[in-house]
């Protein structure tokens, strides 16, 4: 089994679950995912010399092939040139298309913020994506099988060049849902986010061995329970 690709394993698990009788959770809806050309979330950017850093919110319309068809600056930065550069940057991007509740590609709107700043002497851009409505996404997360979850993770890694998927749509929402259902104390929240990437990888590894199980309830929750320090431990060790 170790020599099989994740996609083959996920497909086998998903088909097995369907054959078992109960209806399987669908992989979608999933909003468009930005493709990272080099795998780095900070993208080098040839732009004019702006004296300040800027963050520009933009609505991006993406078709079923992942192409940007329109962009709209939803709140001006106060600098028309900056707004234009941010909009042009997003027009040149490529996305993985959104998928519907049947897993089929569809046209969709995704809301992003274009963050323009410098890293040392280099001008870079980092695009952050606004997640979908929390209630709907958390409901979807609880209905997903591990096969559904692994399909999303591999799609982001393989087709969007995202090296660390832990803060992408589904993993991030899963973390929020876990914090909510387990009432993670505010005293350990920083620690939780510090180790979330490692915890996410732990969940991925467990899911690969349990394709037909429910991703959140059967795998993620048991994998995370007991991994965080007690609040009094964090408080005692704080400077």
pLDDT in tens, 83-116: 999 999 999 999 999 999 888 999 999 999 999 9
State mean pLDDT over 32-48: 91
pLDDT at 11 over 50: no
Task: Report the predicted TM-score, pTM, of the whole model to 2 decimal places.
Answer: 0.80
pLDDT reported for residue 82: 95
Q: Residue 62 — φ and ψ, nearest 5°?
A: -120, 130
**H helical segments located in the chain:** 6-20, 80-91, 134-143, 146-159, 169-181, 189-208, 221-224, 231-237
pLDDT reported for residue 13: 42
In the chain the domains, ranked by start, together with CATH numbers, are 1-27+132-226 (no CATH), 30-131 (3.30.2420)
pLDDT tens digits for range 166-202: 999 999 999 999 999 999 998 889 999 999 999 999 9
When pLDDT is cut at 50, 70 and 90, the band that residue 10 belongs to is very low
Question: Given the DSSP bridges, would you call strands 122-129 and 108-119 parallel, antiparallel or unpaired?
Answer: antiparallel
């Amino acid at each position: 089994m170790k020599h099989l690709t994740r996609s083959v394993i996920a497909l086998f698990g998903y088909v097995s679950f369907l054959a078992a009788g109960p209806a399987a959770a669908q992989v979608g809806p999933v909003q468009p995912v930005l493709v990272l050309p080099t795998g780095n979330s900070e993208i080098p950017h040839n732009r004019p010399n702006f004296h300040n850093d800027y963050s520009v919110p933009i609505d991006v319309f993406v078709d079923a092939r992942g192409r940007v068809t329109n962009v709209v600056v939803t709140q001006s930065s106060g600098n028309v040139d900056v707004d234009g550069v941010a909009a042009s940057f997003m027009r040149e991007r490529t996305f993985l298309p959104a998928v519907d509740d049947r897993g089929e590609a569809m046209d969709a709107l995704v809301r992003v913020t274009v963050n323009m700043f410098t890293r040392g002497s280099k001008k870079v851009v980092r695009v952050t994506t606004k997640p979908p409505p929390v209630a709907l996404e958390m409901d979807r997360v609880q209905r997903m099988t591990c096969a559904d979850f692994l399909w999303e993770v591999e799609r982001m890694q393989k087709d969007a060049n995202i090296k660390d998927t832990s803060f992408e749509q589904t993993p991030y929402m899963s973390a929020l849902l876990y914090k909510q259902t387990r009432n993670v104390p505010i005293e350990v929240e920083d620690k939780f986010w510090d180790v979330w990437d490692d915890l996410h990888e732990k969940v991925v590894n467990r899911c690969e061995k349990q394709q037909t199980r429910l991703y959140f309830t059967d795998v993620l929750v048991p994998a995370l329970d007991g991994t965080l320090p007690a609040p009094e431990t964090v408080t005692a060790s704080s400077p």
